[in-house]
Amino acid sequence: MTLSRTVVSLTLAVISATPAPAQESAKPEVMILTTGGTIASRVGAPMTEGDSLVGAVPQLLDHAEIRVEEFSRIGSSQMTPAHWLGLAKRIGELFGEDSALTGVVVTHGTDTMEETAFFLNLTVRDRRPVVLVGSMRSANEISADGPANLLNAVRVGVSAAAIGKGVLVVLNEDVSAARDVWKTDNRRVDTFQSPELGYIGVADPDTVLFYREPLRPHTTASEFDVTGLDSLPTVELVYDYTGFDGSAIEEIVGRAPDGIVVATFAGGRMSAGARRGVEAALEAGIPLVIASRVPGGRIVGDPAADEPIVVARDLPPHKARILLMLALTRSREVAELQCIFDTY
Ligand code: ASP
């Protein structure tokens, strides 16, 4: 799959009639990578290309020198691990080639934003801010939230307080940490929440403020280096439910993925059918993780009862899948995989 990347290196520099006084300090430099999503959408019209999306918010120039690069122009439901890999590599290149670059903002659909954010949180090896931003309303809907969200994302991206906080998600004046954030509402502009830990900070009109910082390793403290990878391990995700006969897991086992995540009931408990499917996966030697489909709390103890099953503790199933994809680039041993899940 080739990623369409129209490199539009557009510096929206203010052409002032008179040269700025020599003592005025240069503005920080921000790269905005655009990928698509509702923030770039208009009801009844094609998705906006990157430089027009950014050019529609001239207030950005009050905060930074802006460069724009269109990485893709897709709804985030169409994102794939190949896109994640490409974004991580491109962001790494941008930081590597420009020591003056203050931060990177990625405009992205909200449907899978938390997944891309978590993947980048574990694979971008730089302390400088990477901020994902989207919107819940299209550009031509009443009270469109995209422009304000983009402005706040750039404000966070140039904030010294954002350095070393890992990958961030900014919408609705709220700043969320990549590991914690969920899209919790199909419609509301405050859809991104972190069920138990809350926002990591705010982008208020007067200042960008952080209240805490992530304790789990990320970015420069992550062991995952994807720069040499052309693809990622294949990990399938299956949800348990009342009356599940487990055949979907057995069918997946037949396709021999690199790993499987089973979204269980609370506490890691599962149906008899799911149990049969898990047994089939273990029999086939496929690394398997159980993650609770319940948003709050941890899977405690050892529900796998000393079987070679990895427990995702508080990580939700769709993020456990991402961590397992990366963990499998390091090991297939259950004990080592469990250590990775207990670490990140
Ligand atoms: N409605 C989604 C959004 O808010 C569409 C997408 O994720 O691309 O961006």
Token look-up 């439910």 returns 241
> For residue 319, how many other CB atoms are within 10 A of its CB?
26
Give the dihedral of Cα atoms 111, 54, 90, 339; nearest 10 deg: -40
Q: Is the CB of 130 under 6 A from ligand 1?
A: no
Please report the beta strands in 124-207, taking only residues with DSSP state E, as ranges in sequence order.
130-133, 168-171, 174-177, 182-183, 192-193, 201-203
Q: Cα separation of 162 and 28, whole Å?
A: 14
pLDDT tier for residue 17 given thresholds of 50, 70 and 90: very low
Q: Is the CB of 110 under 6 A from ligand 1?
A: yes
List pLDDT tens digits, range 97-150: 999 999 999 999 999 999 999 999 999 999 999 999 999 999 999 999 999 999
Q: CATH number of the domain at 235-343, please?
A: 3.40.50.40
**Average pLDDT of the chain to the nearest whole number:** 93
Give the dihedral of Cα atoms 192, 211, 64, 150; nearest 10 deg: 10
Where do the CATH 3.40.50.1170 domains begin and end in the chain?
10-221
Token look-up 């989207």 returns 134
pLDDT tier for residue 24 given thresholds of 50, 70 and 90: low
pLDDT tier for residue 15 given thresholds of 50, 70 and 90: very low
Looking at the predicted structure, is the pLDDT value of residue 246 above 60?
A: yes
Instruction: Report the top-level CATH class of 10-221.
Output: alpha beta
Question: What is the set of active-site residues?
Answer: 38
Which atom of ligand 1 sits closest to the CA of residue 136? 4
Cβ burial 276-288 (10 Å sphere, 16+ → b, else e): bbbbbbbeeebbb
Which residue owns the Cα nearest ligand 1 atom 1? 38
Q: How far is CA 122 from CA 194, 218, 305, in A?
A: 18, 5, 30
Q: Is the CB of 86 under 6 A from ligand 1?
A: no
Q: Which two tokens stand for residue 243?
A: 């009356």
**Under DSSP, is residue 213 helix (H, G, I), strand (E, B) or coil?**
coil
pLDDT tier for residue 13 given thresholds of 50, 70 and 90: very low
Please report the beta strands in 204-268, taking only residues with DSSP state E, as ranges in sequence order.
208-210, 235-239, 259-264
For the chain, give the number of residues.
344
Q: Is the CB of 38 under 6 A from ligand 1?
A: yes
Where do the CATH 3.40.50.40 domains begin and end in the chain?
235-343
For residue 25, the model assigns a pLDDT of 64
Q: What percent of the chain has pLDDT over 70?
A: 93
Q: Identify whether the C-beta of residue 124 lies closer than 8 Å to the C-beta of residue 88.
A: yes
Q: Cα separation of 242 and 228, whole Å?
A: 42
Identify the DSSP state of 301: S
Looking at the predicted structure, is the pLDDT value of residue 162 above 70?
A: yes
For residue 304, the model assigns a pLDDT of 74
Of 35-49, 54-68, 138-152, 291-305, the one with minimum mean pLDDT is: 291-305
Ligand 1 centroid, distance to 52 Cα (angstroms): 18
Looking at the predicted structure, is the pLDDT value of residue 209 above 80?
A: yes
Ligand 1 centroid, distance to 120 Cα (angstroms): 18
Q: Identify whether the C-beta of residue 43 lies closer than 8 Å to the C-beta of residue 138.
A: yes
